[in-house]
Amino acid sequence: MKKALFPGSFDPLTLGHFDIISRGVHLFDEVVIAIGINAEKKYMFTLEERKKFIEDAFKDEPKVKVVTYKGMTIDFCKEINAEFILRGLRNPADFEFEKAIAHTNRKLSKIETVFLLTAARTSYISSSIVRDVIRNKGDYKVLVPDSVRVK
């Protein structure tokens, strides 16, 4: 069974994330969306809200599982027997950043990173942009799946 871990903070889940996950389910038997827990980081949405956004977005996709984790991503991959890390790339800067992490992960483990280019229609979307739109009372709904709703 080919299992991939798609790690991130998903604060919030965006249409870019949704696209990568939706395409990833065609490549892997299971895609585990892993929400990293970082006590040092200030999040807009609670861990429970972020998890629910993702679970609701993929409620009809049995190949997607949503979990939370702490610590190093490769250690969590080993814990759940994931052989692959799935990552999305929006631009050359993402590639340079992700390439260094992928090389490090492969040096420390046998886990391969699989990169998918984001769709052109979502390549400009980032969680930080979505948070900024939300803070400024903009129409964030065009940037996120229907499951993401601000109170």
Q: How many CB atoms lie within 10 A of CB 5?
A: 27
* Of 41, 42, 107, 137, catalytic: 41
- Is 128 labelled as part of a ligand binding site? yes
- Is 113 labelled as part of a ligand binding site? no
The residues, ordered by sequence, that sit 6+ positions from 89 with a Cβ below 8 Å of its Cβ are 95, 98, 115, 116, 117, 118
- Is 55 labelled as part of a ligand binding site? no
Catalytic residue at 131? Answer: no
- Is 90 labelled as part of a ligand binding site? yes
Catalytic residue at 106? Answer: no
* Of 90, 99, 131, 149, catalytic: 90
- Is 147 labelled as part of a ligand binding site? no
Catalytic residue at 90? Answer: yes
Sign for the CA dihedral angle at 13, 29, 72, 66 comes to positive
- Is 48 labelled as part of a ligand binding site? no
CA–CA distance, 113 with 4 (Å, rounded to integer)? 9
CA–CA distance, 19 with 73 (Å, rounded to integer)? 21
- Is 122 labelled as part of a ligand binding site? yes
Which residue reads 């970082």 in tokens?
A: 38
CA–CA distance, 143 with 41 (Å, rounded to integer)? 23
- Is 10 labelled as part of a ligand binding site? yes
Binding residues for ATP: 9-10, 17, 88-90, 98, 122-128
Residues marked as catalytic: 17, 41, 90, 127
Binding residues: 9-10, 17, 41, 73, 87-90, 98, 122-128
Binding residues for substrate: 9, 41, 73, 87
